[in-house]
Structure 1
């Protein structure tokens, strides 16, 4: 895959998986190939992801890169609004919220 100069959605470059720990959404971004991983590693920063989730985040986002897996993991505190048992939201595990990241253009 070549990385075009124009912006493209994360969905064209990667897949996501979600997890949760309390009210923290944990999103793994799994690049489809090495070129996509390099592009994502440069452009998909903590600040970009935090801005995409906006007011849902209650603390600093954290990114952990796993280049051997062509993946990165984001921890997004507060996004689950209390977590699985404490949130009135229908998406307590954050599965739908993780797919929201795929709509981000970088």
Structure 2
């Protein structure tokens, strides 16, 4: 089964300079283990590669039922120096939610 991330979760974003943070929260807490398994830092980095030039670090926050990604070296200097909206955290969060997930078993 193929689903887009936005069908399972929503995302909050923040940015400071050329670092963006993206927090992903499943709509259903039962989908958290699936997100932990499927939504790796490498997959997020690959999906956002045209906008993020550096490392993506993932933090698991099970008590909040969330995954938190810190994206380094946002292209064009990020929110404080770029005139392009593409590198703002809110735009990156929308882009992340378009990530396709191929799921054999949802649980």
TM bucket, shorter chain: 0.7 to 0.9
CA distance in 2, matches of 1:88, 1:105: 29
Q: With structure 2 as the length reference, what TM-score do the two structures score?
A: 0.84
Which position in structure 2 is the counterpart of 1:100?
95
Matched, 1:50 2:45: yes
Equivalent residues of 2:79, 2:88 under 8 A apart: yes
Residue aligned with 2:97, SS: helix
Equivalent residues of 1:58, 1:79 under 8 A apart: yes
**Greater share of strand residues, 1 or 2?**
2
CA RMSD after TM alignment: 1.5
CA shift digits 1:21-43 (9 cap, x unpaired): 21111100011122211110000
Equivalent residues of 2:54, 2:71 under 8 A apart: yes
The alpha-carbon distance between structure 1 residues 16 and 45, as it changes in their structure 2 partners (threshold 3 A), is same
Stretches of 4+ aligned residues off by more than 4 angstroms: none
Q: Unaligned stretches of 5+ in structure 1?
A: 1-5
Q: With structure 1 as the length reference, what TM-score do the two structures score?
A: 0.85
Q: Unaligned stretches of 5+ in structure 2?
A: 102-107
Which position in structure 1 is the counterpart of 2:30?
35
Which position in structure 2 is the counterpart of 1:23?
18
